[in-house]
């Protein structure tokens, strides 16, 4: 929890780690330390679990807690740890957030309550309840309208930031690029804005963003981290080049519903023993696998074995 007292230092490429499963669908907790080490060796600036890429809606509360615990132990305070603790049920969100706090999380990433489509007042009261319950834990609100079916309005984010000192940032997973601009205008330039849309990672930094959570980092951690490093060092030419080099990798990650494609690639390159994604996600189609092979052909960042084309 060494970053908890200074959330402004939580910047960079924060990997939203996949949840590894065995082929039978059970949790593969032993894979988590290996994945964390690979990420940190490649330059990742932080680790998150329990976001969309981690398949939280197909896990029990006990499983989500087990994943958080295994990851917190593996990270061991070397980089910031930002677990996702949101649920569609407030009591579950509070329970998961309490566990994250106990485990020493630096920031809790709390998704908007999905499916219910609450009003802005409902969203305000939801986040107010979480922030009030954990006043010493920094909270980043997670806006992902494509999955939650509700958009957290910039005015609501501003109201929350003004009313609760521990609401310190937002993860923006929306292609409405004006949204983050309005949020930063409402909340001030010191409010932490992270991109959750892969092809907006670079332009978000130009607006004053604090970094990004890109699912691509699961199978290509180094270029995702280097993009932030280059930007922070003032090397715009290199950052821009990496942005375009990552284009085909983004196409790979979303050829079918995330994280199934990323897990398949990770299995092919030996990062995972099994690329299993829990239902309702399905195994990749033959056509998608072939297209991934084509997209990664000649990639300087990911080399698939010849057997992947079979």
Which residues does 241 contact at the CB level (< 8 Å), separation at least 6?
Answer: none
Assigned domain for 14 exists: yes
Q: What is the pLDDT of residues 180-225, one digit of tens each?
A: 999 999 999 899 999 999 999 999 999 999 999 999 999 999 999 9
Q: Which CATH number belongs to the domain containing residue 91 in this structure?
A: 3.20.20.70
Which residues does 306 contact at the CB level (< 8 Å), separation at least 6?
Answer: none
Domain containing 41 equals: 7-233
Assigned domain for 228 exists: yes
Assigned domain for 298 exists: no
Per-residue pLDDT at 266: 97
State the average pLDDT over residues 100-110: 98
* Better pLDDT: 5 or 277: 277
Concerning whether 114 is annotated as a catalytic residue, the answer is: no
Q: What is the pLDDT of residues 260-291, one digit of tens each?
A: 999 999 999 999 999 999 999 999 999 999 99
Question: Which is the catalytic residue, given 127, 142, 202, 228?
Answer: 142
Per-residue pLDDT at 310: 67
The total number of structural domains that make up the chain: 1
Q: What is the pLDDT of residues 86-102, one digit of tens each?
A: 999 999 999 999 999 99
Per-residue pLDDT at 234: 97
- Is the pLDDT at 107 greater than 70? The verdict is yes
Per-residue pLDDT at 308: 82
Concerning whether 171 is annotated as a catalytic residue, the answer is: yes
Assigned domain for 76 exists: yes
Per-residue pLDDT at 288: 97
Question: Which is the catalytic residue, given 171, 194, 228, 263?
Answer: 171
Assigned domain for 254 exists: no
Assigned domain for 280 exists: no
The proportion of the chain whose per-residue pLDDT surpasses 90, expressed as a percent, equals 91
Assigned domain for 287 exists: no
Q: What is the pLDDT of residues 137-155, one digit of tens each?
A: 999 999 998 888 899 999 9
Q: What is the pLDDT of residues 241-261, one digit of tens each?
A: 999 999 999 999 999 999 999
Q: What is the pLDDT of residues 24-75, one digit of tens each?
A: 999 999 999 999 999 999 999 999 999 999 999 999 999 999 999 999 999 9
């Amino acid at each position: 929890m060494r970053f908890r007292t200074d959330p402004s230092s939580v910047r960079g490429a924060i990997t939203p780690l996949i949840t590894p499963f065995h082929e039978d669908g059970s949790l593969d907790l032993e894979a988590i330390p290996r994945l964390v080490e690979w990420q940190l060796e490649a330059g990742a600036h932080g680790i998150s679990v329990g976001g969309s890429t981690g398949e939280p809606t197909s896990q029990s509360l006990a499983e989500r807690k087990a994943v958080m615990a295994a990851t917190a132990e593996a990270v061991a305070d070397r980089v910031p740890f930002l677990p996702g603790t949101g649920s569609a049920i407030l009591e579950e969100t509070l329970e998961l957030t309490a566990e994250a706090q106990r485990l020493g999380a630096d920031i809790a990433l709390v998704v908007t309550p999905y499916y219910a489509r609450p009003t802005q007042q409902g969203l305000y009261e939801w986040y107010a309840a979480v922030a009030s319950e954990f006043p010493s834990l920094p909270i980043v609100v997670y806006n992902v309208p494509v999955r939650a079916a509700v958009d957290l309005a910039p005015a609501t984010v501003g109201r929350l930031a003004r009313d609760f000192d521990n609401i310190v940032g937002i993860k923006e997973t929306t292609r409405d690029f004006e949204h983050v601009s309005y949020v930063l205008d409402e909340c001030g330039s010191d409010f932490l804005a992270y991109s959750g849309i892969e092809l907006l990672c670079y332009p978000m930094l130009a607006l004053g963003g604090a970094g990004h959570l890109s699912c691509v980092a699961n199978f290509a951690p180094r270029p995702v981290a280097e993009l932030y490093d280059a930007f922070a060092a003032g090397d715009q030419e290199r950052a821009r080049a990496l942005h375009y080099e990552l284009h085909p990798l983004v196409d790979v990650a979303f050829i079918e519903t995330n994280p199934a494609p990323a897990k398949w690639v990770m299995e092919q390159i030996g990062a995972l023993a099994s690329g299993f994604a829990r239902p309702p996600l399905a195994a990749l189609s033959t056509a998608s696998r072939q297209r991934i092979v084509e997209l990664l052909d000649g990639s300087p960042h990911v080399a698939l074995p010849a057997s992947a084309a079979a």
